[in-house]
């Protein structure tokens, strides 16, 4: 496919170029079976956008919630009766195919990674230029696709919410998962003493990420083991908030980054409870929502380049296997990240 890079009239296809692309689409909320491979129209970037030839797109639990439309609260943001965006997916890595007329920071041929509001499970995706940065030379496109949502969440939790620094003790539950695997490495990079909680099969993996201590939850309950931590990032909700707080120092910080709940609120119910409890305790209960920031992608790119953090890729799927990928993510037992190659 050929694409004209710039013109006075903005972006457009050259005569005779392909005007469609392969994508995964859904027209209703539901299980992975609602996802269908399809031929759709090629998106064209606006003045500040970049058209990315997608090489890989990672998926995470948030994508699963958006696909199912449960908890129902997600529909306020993504469409009440049906998905507002037919093509799912937010994280991607690939090569710039074309740029909008106002874009000066990127050029066709650049390898980039970042996120879009939607539409990354496709051959091409339009992304605001400010949502993309260059892929570090020591990363593959597949590895780069794992970074945006999960690593940014881990970075903001450790740096901005918990203020992790040398001398602090940090415990991460779900330490082998997408956010957890990055959080363990980031906390170590910031100089903390890190404990990871995982199942037996993931003990060696979590230790390889740099964890100073690993707790196998199948044989040890960290909340009743007698040790207290300055920071707990709870990615699993295997324990009630009251039990987790028993493992927190009197002035420690608990970040609940998960929750089960019902069909209406889901994880939000636990987050609301944590916020209410925080006002009545010297402990800091700090649920948070991560925000897409280009500067954070640049910070992560530096950590990746210097080898202080490295992605963990669990499985890769083809684009037409997107339903299988999200079914696996929804089961909740991933080791690192799940990536769809395009």
**Which pLDDT tens digits describe the chain residue by residue (342 residues)?**
334 333 333 444 434 446 899 999 999 999 999 999 999 999 989 999 999 999 999 999 999 999 999 878 788 888 889 999 999 999 999 999 999 999 999 999 999 999 998 899 999 999 999 999 999 999 999 999 999 999 999 999 999 999 999 999 999 999 999 999 999 999 999 999 999 999 999 999 999 999 999 999 999 999 999 999 999 999 987 788 889 999 999 999 999 887 555 565 556 666 666 666 665 577 888 877 778 889 999 999 999 999 999 999 999 999 999 999 999 999 989 999 999 999
Domain definitions of the chain by residue range:
20-147+311-341, 149-285
Question: CATH for 149-285, among 3.40.50.720, 3.90.550.10, 3.90.1150.10, 3.30.413.10?
Answer: 3.40.50.720
Q: Return the SS3 of 336.
A: coil
Looking at the chain, which runs of residues are DSSP E strands?
A: 20-25, 36-41, 49-59, 91-99, 111-115, 124-128, 132-134, 169-173, 193-198, 213-216, 229-234, 248-256, 284-285, 313-318, 337-341
pTM reported for the whole predicted model: 0.90
CATH superfamily entry for domain 20-147+311-341: Medium-chain alcohol dehydrogenases, catalytic domain (3.90.180.10)
Taking the C-alpha atoms of residue 146 and residue 182, their distance in angstroms, rounded to an integer, is 10
β-strand partners of 99: 50
Taking the C-alpha atoms of residue 89 and residue 98, their distance in angstroms, rounded to an integer, is 20
Taking the C-alpha atoms of residue 283 and residue 21, their distance in angstroms, rounded to an integer, is 52
């Amino acid at each position: 496919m050929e694409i004209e890079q710039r013109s006075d009239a903005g972006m457009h296809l050259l005569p005779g170029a392909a005007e469609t692309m392969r994508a995964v689409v859904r027209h209703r909320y539901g299980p992975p079976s609602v996802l269908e491979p399809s031929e759709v129209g090629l998106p064209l970037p606006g003045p500040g956008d970049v058209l990315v030839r997608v090489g890989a797109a990672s998926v995470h639990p948030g994508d699963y919630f958006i696909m199912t439309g449960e908890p129902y609260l997600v529909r306020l943001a993504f469409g009440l009766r049906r998905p507002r965006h037919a093509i799912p997916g937010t994280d991607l890595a690939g090569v710039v195919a074309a740029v909008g007329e106002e874009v000066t920071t990127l050029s066709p041929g650049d390898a980039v990674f970042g996120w879009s509001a939607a539409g990354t499970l496709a051959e091409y995706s339009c992304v605001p230029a400010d949502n993309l940065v260059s892929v570090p030379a020591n990363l593959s496109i597949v590895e780069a696709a794992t970074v945006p949502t999960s690593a940014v969440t881990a970075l903001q939790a450790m740096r901005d919410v918990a203020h992790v620094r040398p001398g602090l003790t940090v415990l991460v539950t779900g330490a082998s998962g997408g956010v957890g695997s990055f959080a363990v490495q980031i906390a170590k990079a910031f100089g903390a003493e890190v404990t990871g909680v995982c199942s037996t099969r993931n003990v060696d993996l979590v230790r390889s990420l740099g964890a100073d201590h690993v707790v196998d939850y199948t044989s040890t309950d960290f909340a009743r083991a007698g040790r207290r931590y300055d920071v707990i990032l709870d990615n699993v909700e295997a324990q009630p908030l009251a039990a987790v707080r028993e493992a927190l120092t009197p002035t420690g910080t608990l970040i609940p980054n998960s929750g089960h709940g019902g069909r209406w609120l889901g994880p939000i119910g636990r987050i609301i409870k944590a916020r209410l409890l925080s006002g009545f305790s010297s402990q800091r209960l700090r649920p948070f929502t991560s925000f897409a920031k280009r500067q954070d992608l640049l910070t992560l790119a530096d950590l990746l380049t210097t080898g202080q953090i490295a992605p963990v890729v669990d499985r890769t799927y083809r684009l037409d296997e997107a339903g299988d990928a999200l079914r696996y993510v929804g089961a909740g037992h991933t080791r690192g990240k799940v990536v769809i190659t395009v």
